[in-house]
């Protein structure tokens, strides 16, 4: 790299740089396609050759980037039709889009656009690999969740992408699993239980957790750290241990197999989340406000509800949402502490998966994913609002 770089990046070498990398990308797609057709090695070689040829053709004869990319998409879609009909065409078009994009991204030097101009080649490589790894992590986290959503509209009673579904034939899709969820008494009972247990557990968690957090944040409480450690231990101790312990304890005191038992167990699991979020909000809380309030004649309870509570409310709500989701998604403890009369949605999904692999589970899972996204978005919006109110972020 020369000491005086011009703002326009130099064109990278075609044979020494662009061709090999596009060939590797092509080999990867070839490998995937090949293994689907039981000829892994052949797929690898053909993929590499096709990739290199594409890069050579596009860079050499297609200076117009947009046109070149459409040509790549069309070409691969055509190959896809030959190999695998309509689904093949879709997959081919996707591969073509990626290949075309990679070719131009490399050959025009666009891969350096987002890095400082003084970066050396290894640094640029690392920067792009880093983005690539992040993309992969994101993909592997999200892909399983996205896969279940189309499957939940399956017209069959199995977890199968039927040929009709892949051909986007409306006959391959159906809402019957959603209908089953809303009409089947087993699922409805589980839904009712979840909707009753989770808010009750959340209420207890929020009340006790907020009080604990306020107490633990005042300086004259002795042994604050050990008490804190004990209170958040349900979050750290493996669930199965808490669950087995609760099972034997609750059995002796007659709470096993009762709603109250499940609610208390879930409350214990939710309290740590409330303590942590509320403690975090209290860090920014100005204690002179409570003193001012006391000075003006308000008692501690009035001070709490009129002065402190409104200011720490975002922390309380987000803690409460975490406690709610904990109870709503929890399976291990409820399997031990509950009995069939208290079965919650996760319980029903668990036994359903084991005994009867029905896509109704996928329909429920899709609904729960949507609910979870809504709840977590609320948490995030509240967090931003609280930061904005306290002037911690310009947003």
Partner 1 sequence: MKIRTILLTTGAVLAAAPMAVAQDMADSMTIVSWGGAYQESQVKAYAEPYKKLHPEVEIVWDESSPEAVAKLRAQAEAGNITWDLVDVTAADAMRLCDEGLAMEVDHDEILAPAPDGTPASEDFGDMIVSDCFIPQIAYSITNAYRTDVEEWNGKEPQDICALFDTETFPGTRTLEKRPINNMEWALICDGVPYENVYDVLATEEGQDRAFAKLDTIKDQTIWWSSAAESIQYLADGEAVIGSSYNGRFFSAIVEQDQPLEMLWDTQVYDIDGWVIPDDLPEERLARVKDFLYFATDTQRLADQAKYISYGPARASSAPLVSTHAELGIEMAPHMPTNPANSKNAFVQNYTWWADYRDDLNAKFQAWLAQ
Site of interaction with partner 1 (CB under 8 A): 156-160, 186, 200, 203-204, 247-248, 251-258, 260, 339-341, 343, 351-357
Nearer to partner 1, 166 or 376 (CB): 166
Q: For partner 1, which is the closer residue by CB, 121 or 340?
A: 340
Phi, psi angle pair for 173, to nearest 5°: -115, 155
Tokens of 290: 């409570």
Q: How far is the CB of 250 from partner 1 (least distance, A)?
A: 8
CB of 170 to partner 1, least distance (A): 19
33 touches 83 (CB < 8 A): yes
Q: Which two tokens stand for residue 40?
A: 């892994």
Nearer to partner 1, 108 or 351 (CB): 351
d(CA 76, CA 88): 9
Give me the least distance between CB of 160 and partner 1, in Å please.
4
Least distance between partner 1 and beta carbon 30 (Å) = 24
Considering the complex, state which of residue 237 and residue 260 has its C-beta at the smaller distance from partner 1: 260
Return the number of the residue (138 or 158) whose C-beta is nearest partner 1.
158
Nearest partner of 337 among 212, 252, 233, 224, judged by Cα:
252
Paired tokens of 122: 């290894």
What backbone torsions phi and psi does residue 318 show, to the nearest 5 degrees?
A: -70, -35
Smallest CA-to-CA distance from 100 within 76, 127, 135 is with 76
Nearest distance in Å: CB 333, partner 1: 14
On whether the CB atoms of residues 72 and 44 are closer than 8 A, the answer is: no
Calpha distance 389→311 (Å, rounded): 9
Whole-number Å distance between alpha carbons of 32 and 284: 52
**What span, in angstroms and rounded, lies between the C-alpha atoms of 72 and 51?**
10
Which residue, 200 or 232, is less far from partner 1 as judged by CB? 200
DSSP output for 115-169: S-TT--HHHHHHHHHHHHHHHHHHHHHHHHHHHHHHHTTBSSSSS---HHHHTT-
Query: Between 84 and 257, whose beta carbon lies closer to partner 1?
Result: 257
Closer residue to partner 1 (CB): 107 or 256: 256
CB of residue 202 vs partner 1: minimum separation in angstroms? 12
Q: Least distance in Å: CB of 264 to partner 1?
A: 8
Q: How far apart are CA 207 and CA 215, in angstroms?
A: 12
Least separation in angstroms between CB 331 and partner 1: 14
Measured CA to CA, the distance from residue 302 to residue 7 in angstroms comes to 64
């Amino acid at each position: 790299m020369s000491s005086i770089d011009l703002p326009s990046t130099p064109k990278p070498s075609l044979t020494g740089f662009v061709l090999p990398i596009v060939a590797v990308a092509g080999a990867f797609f070839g490998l995937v396609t090949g293994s689907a057709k039981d000829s892994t090695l052949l797929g690898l070689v053909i993929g590499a050759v096709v990739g290199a040829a594409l890069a050579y053709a596009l860079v050499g004869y297609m200076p117009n980037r947009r046109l070149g990319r459409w040509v790549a998409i069309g070409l691969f879609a055509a190959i896809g039709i030959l190999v695998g009909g309509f689904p093949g065409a879709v997959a081919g078009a996707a591969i073509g889009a990626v290949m075309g994009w990679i070719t131009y991204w490399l050959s025009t030097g666009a891969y350096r656009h987002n890095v400082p101009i003084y970066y050396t080649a290894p640094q640029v490589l690392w920067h792009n690999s880093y983005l690539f790894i992040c993309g992969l992590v994101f993909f592997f986290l999200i892909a399983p969740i996205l896969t279940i959503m189309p499957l939940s509209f399956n017209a069959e009673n199995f977890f199968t992408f039927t040929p009709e579904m892949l051909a986007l034939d409306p006959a391959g899709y159906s809402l019957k699993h959603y209908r089953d969820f809303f009409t089947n008494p087993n699922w409805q009972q589980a839904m009712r239980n979840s909707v009753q247990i989770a808010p009750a557990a959340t209420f207890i968690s929020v009340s006790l957790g907020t009080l604990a957090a306020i107490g633990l944040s005042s300086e004259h409480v002795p042994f604050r750290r050990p008490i804190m450690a004990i209170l958040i231990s349900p979050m750290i101790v493996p669930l199965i241990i808490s669950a087995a312990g609760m099972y034997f304890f609750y059995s002796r005191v007659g709470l096993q197999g009762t709603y109250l038992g499940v609610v208390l167990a879930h409350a214990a699991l939710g309290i740590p989340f409330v303590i942590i979020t509320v403690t975090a909000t209290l860090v920014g809380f100005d204690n002179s406000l409570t003193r001012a309030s006391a000075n003006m004649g308000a008692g501690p309870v009035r001070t709490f509800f009129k002065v402190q509570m409104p200011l720490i409310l975002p922390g309380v709500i987000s803690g409460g949402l975490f406690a709610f989701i904990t109870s709503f998604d929890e399976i291990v403890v409820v399997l031990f502490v509950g009995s069939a009369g208290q079965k919650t949605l996760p319980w029903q999904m668990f036994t359903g998966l084991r005994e009867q692999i029905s896509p109704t589970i996928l329909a429920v899972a899709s609904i729960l994913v949507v609910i979870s996204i809504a709840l977590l978005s609320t948490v995030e919006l509240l967090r931003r609002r609280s930061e904005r109110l306290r002037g911690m972020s310009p947003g």
